[in-house]
Amino acid sequence: MGCHSNRHREVGTRPQFGASPRIRTLGGSTCDQWPCHCAVTHKVNRAVSTAIYFLLPAGSVSRLHRIPCAETWHFYKGEPLTVFELHDDGHIDLTVIGPHLEAGQRPQYTVPPNVWFGSFPTLDVESFASDGSVLVKSRKRDPELHYSLVGCTCAPGFQYEDFEMAKFEDVRSIAPKAEPFLKFLIPSTD
């Protein structure tokens, strides 16, 4: 929808949202971030939407998984969080959720339905390649002091029986170059 901008701004000025925000009768600017055009055909007897708080301390990851609904992430407090997406064609997206729009962070982001995704505290990774082939972890940080508090809203509503945890052997064939990220987001259970 073109609402994200990497443009820097002067301190004290209002953030820019890229493409022209729509002025509506709400009294401010709005920007449609995810227009869901999905008809609810899967398990019609379910909640229209569900929402949770999600606290991810330093040193933790949200394991790679997928669900048949759109999941919108909202940043609330703490440090930025990175959402890793692996599409069925092998394409990888990394999106930083956080309060610093001028640094390219987004206060909100939606993962489309049926895409493999996981997340991690952004500052837990020192550097990486955008294709997932390189990942250098930062030194260990105190999880009591370093964390990301976000919210996740699913539409249609989340149901545990729809949740599919990724298995390394299954997703490695989708993006073999991304093995470092896959190992990071699919910890071994040994």
DSSP output for the chain: ----------TTSPPP-SSPPEE-TTSSEE-----------SSSSS-S-EEEEEEEETT--EEEEE-SSEEEEEEEEES-EEEEEE-TTS-EEEEEESS-GGGT-BSEEEEPTT-EEEEEEGGGEEEE-TTSS-EEEPPP--TTT-EEEEEEEEESPP-GGG-EE--HHHHHTT-GGGHHHHHHHS----
| pTM tops 0.75 | yes
Residue-wise pLDDT for 16-74, tens only, equals 555 445 545 555 555 555 555 555 565 567 788 888 999 999 999 999 999 999 999 99
Q: What is the pLDDT of residues 65-121, one digit of tens each?
A: 999 999 999 999 999 999 999 999 999 999 999 999 999 999 999 999 999 999 999
**Domains of the chain, each with CATH number or no CATH:** 1-33 (no CATH), 47-185 (2.60.120.10)
